[in-house]
Chain A
């Protein structure tokens, strides 16, 4: 066996997502072609829009922050064998609690309200994940369905609160009053160029590192993975599978809740309707592409963040291609990296002289 093949074998975990992603990008290029635009030119506009200057890069990293958090929110429960589709509602509830802290404790506490609001955001998301987790462990309720239902319930509750309770006086659109400036997440916009990039970005990176340490090195993290890999064996080994499952989903919820810190405390500085804007769902794509590994998730989040920011530029420069093309790329990425992940796997494994995994 040659050294090259050996090297490729080592690279296989990264190779397959890359091949799947390439397939998704080729199909996306065909869609762009179908709209009558030049896919190569679109790609160049996209890349320039994502990283052409400091401000663009700032925006890219700002979106990346949301994707890292949303991706981790899916990945952690996934390691315990749980599929968390509730990121949307968890982010919403995190936003609610964080906003309450900023609005009501902010004037008295000043900047000291920031750490409190960050904790509140995590607690809101965690609480919204706790109910489905609890129902799953005690009553066997299907998490996929309950978390989706909780998204809808969160949305209904927030619509009610924003229209009737939290709406700023004299305001027509359903948004809260602006947070006191002291409670804004410190901006990092001056580092790269004017952008909503804020302290949430390093915080998200830190949390990704923490998630890796937790999963790889801690006892609870090991229990969580064991519960996901083989619940029977884990139970036989004396691990409380129920606890591990609840912990995984609650931690995931807390991470999703932190999306609100970046969005609301970092950028919008008020609570508004539908601010999670699909990040909870996109977290699934990020986690799948990042193979549920924190480092992979950071890379996938960067990719999607660049796609988001570049997509905005794209719709300015090439009006025949709308921003929605970004959603198409995301959909295809989920399809190829998640649902069709075995499409090329056995072929590649055979080519590398491996036994085809059963």
Chain B
């Protein structure tokens, strides 16, 4: 295998690793936004989950306990979001921002108080994390040309949460398209009056959507701190929640395009560390720092309609007052 080939495989594998938390968070945001609630608080939910997962895993030594705690905390944050945005009809953007700020402060405060480290949790032992899984046949197929290395080095060898993220994409697409809940969810984001007239509670639907957002953000956060990483550090989500939101808009609120947008962003991220000092055809040496701005610039272009218009769910951001 040539060096370039090996390099490419490692970029692709890194793309998948970087995409997983984005996909989970963006799909979480999808439930929320398709139900008509803006979710700028993905970042906070993810960060809260990352902290809770690492803290619980450090305390119990069990990755599963960590996962449970992470998902639990993210769902709790989502319920606060739902209470403020649905029950109290508060401003949805403000609610999301409040959660982001609150968690950014609360996690290091609790980390310091519980573990006596400066805003971090202790490094986790390998047993308290989700290890990489070798998929069946990865070594047996290694000699098959093209497919062998692709399967063995790119697809295989990640942790379980990444595969959950991959399966979640078609699963959620099916839920939205084929189930009664999915249909109602899409309807409530477009025309909540129609849903209420049909005798379905708008508030309860939105609460359920937000709880699902919590579950998915919980997985995303746990992925960062107890699967890909080995502990929590201050602001470890580093803007991924906002990036996931961008991917959600970029993918026009649909599961498959959203996942592809996440992969694109992750690829830009994976490539940038390897592009350092490399001269590209036509462009010459591209400054690494500027490559990282590509996803954001793309999102702005898309929103400006230069890449095609993105139409949000019609009732997005409007608090609903029941007429019943």
Chains A and B bind each other: yes
Which A residues form the contact surface with B (CB < 8 A)?
A: 31, 34-36, 83, 85, 135, 139-142, 144-146, 148-150, 152-153, 156-157, 159-160, 163-164, 281, 284-285, 288, 320-322, 324-332, 334-335, 338-343
Pairwise interchain contact A339-B113, C-beta atoms closer than 8 A: no
- Say whether B251 faces chain A, with CB atoms less than 8 Å apart: no
Kindly report which residue of chain B lies nearest to residue A154, judged by CB atoms: B293
Q: How far is the CB of B278 from chain A (nearest CB, A)?
A: 16
A to B CB contacts below 8 Å, 30 in the list:
A31-B106, A34-B110, A35-B110, A83-B93, A139-B304, A140-B305, A142-B303, A144-B38, A144-B40, A145-B246, A145-B299, A149-B297, A149-B299, A157-B289, A160-B287, A164-B287, A284-B94, A321-B113, A322-B119, A324-B108, A324-B119, A326-B105, A328-B106, A329-B105, A331-B100, A338-B95, A339-B84, A339-B94, A339-B95, A342-B89
A-side contacts of B40, CB under 8 Å: 144, 148
Chain B residues proximal to chain A, CB less than 8 Å: 38, 40, 80, 84-85, 88-91, 93-95, 97-110, 112-113, 118-119, 239, 242, 245-246, 249, 287, 289-290, 292-293, 296-297, 299-300, 303-305, 312
Please name all residues of chain B whose beta carbon is closer than 8 Å to the beta carbon of A145 when the two chains form the complex.
245-246, 249, 299, 303
Known: A153-B296, A332-B102, A340-B84. A281 touches B90 (CB 8 A): no
In the complex, which of the residues A34, A35, A331, A342 contacts B98, with contact meaning CB atoms closer than 8 Å? A331
- Residues from chain B with Cβ under 8 Å of A142 in the complex: 249, 303, 312
Minimum C-beta distance from B226 to chain A (A): 22
Instruction: Let me know if B98 and A324 touch, CB within 8 A.
Output: no
On whether the beta carbons of A320 and B289 are closer than 8 Å, the reply is no
CB pair A340–B101 under 8 Å, yes or no, is no
Complex contact A152–B293 (CB within 8 A): yes
Name the residue among A148, A157, A320 with the largest chain B CB count within 10 angstroms. A148
Q: How far is the CA of A163 from the CA of B290 in the complex (A)?
A: 12
A340 contacts across to B, CB distance below 8 A: 84, 88, 90
Contact in complex: B112, A334 (CB < 8 Å): no
Q: How far is the CB of A349 from chain B (nearest CB, A)?
A: 15
Q: How far is the CB of B251 from chain A (nearest CB, A)?
A: 13
* A-side contacts of B109, CB under 8 Å: 31, 35, 321-322, 324-325, 328
The one of B38, B98, B119 in contact with A335, judged by C-beta atoms closer than 8 angstroms, is B98
Partner of B101 from A139, A144, A334, A341 at Cβ < 8 Å: A334
Residues of A within 8 A of B80 (CB): 335
Q: How far is the CB of B305 from chain A (nearest CB, A)?
A: 5
Residues in A with CB closer than 8 Å to B94 are: 284, 288, 334, 338-339
Residues of B within 8 A of A149 (CB): 246, 296-297, 299-300, 303
For chain A, what secondary structure do more than half of its interface residues adopt (helix, strand, loop), or is it mixed? Answer: helix
The complex places the Cα of A149 from the Cα of B89 at a distance, in Å, of 27
| Contact for B113 among A85, A152, A320, A334, CB less than 8 A | A320
Interchain CA distance A338-B88 in the complex, whole Å: 11
Interfacial chain A residues near B113, Cβ < 8 Å = 34-36, 320-321
**B-chain residues with CB within 8 Å of residue A321 when the two chains form the complex:** 109, 113
Q: Tell me if B105 and A331 are in contact (CB < 8 A).
A: yes
In the complex, the answer to whether B99 meets A152 with C-beta atoms within 8 Å is no
Are the CB atoms of A322 and B112 closer together than 8 Å? Answer: yes
* Given A35-B113, A331-B98, A335-B95, CB of A342 within 8 Å of CB of B296: no
> Would A327 and B304 count as touching, CB distance under 8 A?
no
Nearest 9 A/B pairs, CB to CB: A327-B105, A331-B102, A156-B293, A160-B289, A35-B113, A331-B101, A328-B105, A339-B95, A335-B98
SS class of chain B's interface: helix, strand, loop or mixed? helix
Q: Which residues of the other chain, B, contact A152 by a CB distance below 8 angstroms?
A: 239, 242, 293, 296
Tell me the smallest distance from the CB of B195 to a CB of chain A, in Å. 22
Q: Measured between alpha carbons, how far is A339 from B86 in the docked complex, in Å?
A: 11
Known pairs A31-B109, A35-B110; A342 contacts B88 (CB<8 A): yes
Contact B292 A156 (CB under 8 A): yes
A329 to B93, CA, bound (A): 19
Q: Which residues of B contact A148 (CB under 8 A)?
A: 40, 242, 245
Contact A156 B290 (CB under 8 A): yes
In the complex, chain A residues whose CB is within 8 Å of the CB of B112: 35, 320, 322, 324
Q: Are A339 and B85 in contact (CB-based, < 8 A)?
A: yes
Is there an interface contact between B99 and A331, defined as CB atoms closer than 8 Å?
A: yes
A163's nearest neighbour on chain B, judged by CB, is: B289
Q: Is A146's CB under 8 angstroms from B293's CB? A: no
Let me know if A139 and B305 touch, CB within 8 A: yes
Q: Which residues of B contact A139 (CB under 8 A)?
A: 303-305
| Distance of A163 Cα from B292 Cα, bound (Å) | 14
Given A35-B113, A85-B97, A338-B91, A331-B300 contact (CB < 8 Å): no
Most chain A beta-carbon neighbours within 10 Å: one of B99, B107, B109, B118: B109
Determine how close the nearest CB of chain A comes to the CB of B88; give it in whole angstroms.
5
Contacts of B118 in A (CB 8 A): 322
Question: What is the CB-to-nearest-CB distance from A161 to chain B, in angstroms, rounded to a whole number?
Answer: 8
Separation of A34 and B239 alpha carbons in the complex (Å): 28
A339 and B292 within 8 A (CB):
no
Contact partner of A339 (CB less than 8 A), chosen from B91, B249, B300, is B91
Q: Which of B107, B113, B245, B290 gathers most chain A CB within 10 Å?
A: B113
- When chains A and B are docked, how far (Å) is the Cα of A342 from the Cα of B91? 10
B293 touches A325 (CB 8 A): no
Residues of chain B lying within 8 A (CB to CB) of residue A325: 105, 109
**Do residues A343 and B119 form an inter-chain contact, with CB atoms below 8 A?**
no
Bound complex: CA A330 to CA B97 (Å)? 11
Given contacts A153-B293, A328-B109, contact A141 B88 (CB under 8 A): no
Interface centre among B95, B101, B239, B290 (most CB of A within 10 A): B101
Question: Which residues of chain A come closer than 8 Å to B98, judged between CB atoms?
Answer: 331-332, 334-335, 338-339
Given contacts A281-B101, A339-B94, contact A159 B289 (CB under 8 A): yes
* Chain B: minimal CB distance from A300 (Å): 15
CA distance A85 to B289 in the complex (A): 22
Residue of A nearest to B302 (CB): A141
Q: In the assembled complex, which residues on chain A have CB atoms less than 8 Å from the CB atom of B304?
A: 135, 139, 141
Contact B97 A150 (CB under 8 A): no
Tell me the smallest distance from the CB of B296 to a CB of chain A, in Å: 4
Bound-state CA distance A342–B112 (Å) is 34
Residues from chain A with Cβ under 8 Å of B84 in the complex: 335, 339-340
